[in-house]
Amino acid sequence: MQQRYIDKAPDKFQVSEHSCCGCLQCMVVCAGVWGDEDSLNSAKIKVCRNTGDFYGYSIYFYSDCRSGCKLCAKWCPYGALQVKEV
């Protein structure tokens, strides 16, 4: 299996990690787009709980993210992901 590269948000998104509560709604909707809403492993976005000095969540995108759909941002109930206006 080819390992996918994880990076911060593509240019099309504004990410406010301090607004993320870790609900994983973005991962659920993304996994549904990729055909397996029962497994978050197919999502192209990853929400990770931070440990150590900074508690909260970090949001990463896999390199094969279809950032054109922008459904993760549209379904984020807390505004942690927003589509940048072009």
Cα dihedral 9, 13, 19, 22, rounded to 10, equals -60
Output the pTM of the full model.
0.82
Question: What's the CATH number where 43 sits?
Answer: 3.30.70
Q: What pLDDT is stored for residue 51 in this prediction?
A: 81
On whether residue 73 sits in a domain, the answer given is yes
- CA 40 → CA 34, 37, 46, 64, distances in Å? 10, 7, 9, 15
Q: Look at the chain and report how many structural domains it folds into.
A: 1
On whether residue 54 sits in a domain, the answer given is yes
On whether residue 1 sits in a domain, the answer given is no
Domain range for 26 = 6-83
Low-confidence ranges of the chain (pLDDT < 50): 1-3
On whether residue 23 sits in a domain, the answer given is yes
Tell me the two tokens of residue 32: 């549904």
Q: What pLDDT is stored for residue 1 in this prediction?
A: 43
